[in-house]
Structure 1
Amino acid sequence: MSSVNMPQTQAPGSNQFGQGTNSSQGSNPYVNANKRDIGGVFNANIDLFRDPDTGNVTQEQLREIANRPMTGRVAEDNMTMLANEVLRRPELNSKLVPKSEWEPPKADEKNKDLPVGGKGDGLQRQRVENSDKGTGQANPFAGNSDAQLADYALAAFSSLADKDGAITHDSLTSVASGERSDGKPASKAEINLANALLEKGTFFNQLDKGDGTLDGRITRDALDKVSNPHDYMSELQLVENFDNLFSTFLRPDERFVSTDDIREAAGERPTTRVFSDEAKALAKALLKHPDLIRRMDSAATDDGKVDGLIGTSDLTNLKSSLSKPSE
Structure 2
Amino acid sequence: MSPSFLEIPDLPMEMIMNYLDYLAIRSVSKTCWDLRNFIDNNKPGIGMKQVSIIQTSDTAVGLGISLPTFRLPEDAYIYLSYEKHENGCRITGPTSDGYKNKIVENLNFLDAVLHDFKIAINSQKLIFEKVIVTVNTFFEKFEEMMKLQKPFATESMEIHADSLEHARQIMHHADPTYLNFIDIHPPEVINIIETVKLESLKNIQNFFHFATASIHFENLDVETIRAIKENFLQFHEYDKYLRVLNKSNVKENLFIDAFGTASERSGETEQNWFFNVPDNNEKVLKVLIKWRYFEFQFVEKCEVPEGSVILD
Coarse TM-score class (shorter-chain normalised): under 0.3
Provide the TM-score with structure 2 as the length reference: 0.26
